Amino acid sequence: MTRELSTPPAVSFGLLSGSPQPVLPAAQGLLLRPWEQADAPVFLSAYQDDEICRWHTRRPRTEARVLEWFDAYHQDWRSEKGGHWAAARKDGEVLGRIALRGFDFNDGVADVSYWVLPTARGRGVATSALAALSTWALDEIGFHRLYLEHSTRNHASCGVATKSGYLLEGTQCSAAMHDDGRHDMHLHARIRGD
């Protein structure tokens, strides 16, 4: 059922799905590019890392499952539900993941998530990726608000959000389940024009 609104959508429907998912340049010579079949082994290895597993309860168990995720990621783009990128060097080496999901074109809102492989941590990869994706989504596509959530115990993610211009809006009590139980979650957001 189509929702009747008194205001036009903040982002035009069909704007994204009408073209291929873009490759976005980021600082430090990084490229944000769609996931490729050849990335499956490194993607799977990420979910063997204790830190990534600490913050993510949804995990692929096989390369075949990773490829199913990649298919779903590509379908998300075609159906305008989200975009999922590998954060990679220009030589193709994958350093991390970043995603823009839950598109609400009427209100111009989407949420962001990211992780970085152990060998790339502490080098600004997530910050560079988040800054590039945010600039594209807010300034080029026209989203009004991007937000992200992370456990209050995830200090690295909090630092990435803050360095990328995402203001801390508050704490959501007992808002997410992790392997070790419920966690309070920080909510950060970045608004177009801030």
Give the DSSP letter of residue 122.
T
Q: 3-state class of 94 per DSSP? A: strand
Confidence of residue 1 (pLDDT cuts 50, 70, 90): very low
pLDDT of residue 48: 95
pLDDT of residue 97: 98
Question: In the chain, how long is the greatest CA-to-CA distance?
Answer: 50
The CATH number of the structural domain formed by 24-191 is 3.40.630.30
pLDDT digits (tens, 9 = 90+) for 154-177: 999 999 999 999 999 999 999 999
Give the DSSP letter of residue 10.
S
Tokens of 132: 């590039």
- Residue extents of the structural domains in the chain: 24-191
Give the mean pLDDT of 52-68: 95
**Over 70: is that where the pLDDT of 151 sits?**
yes
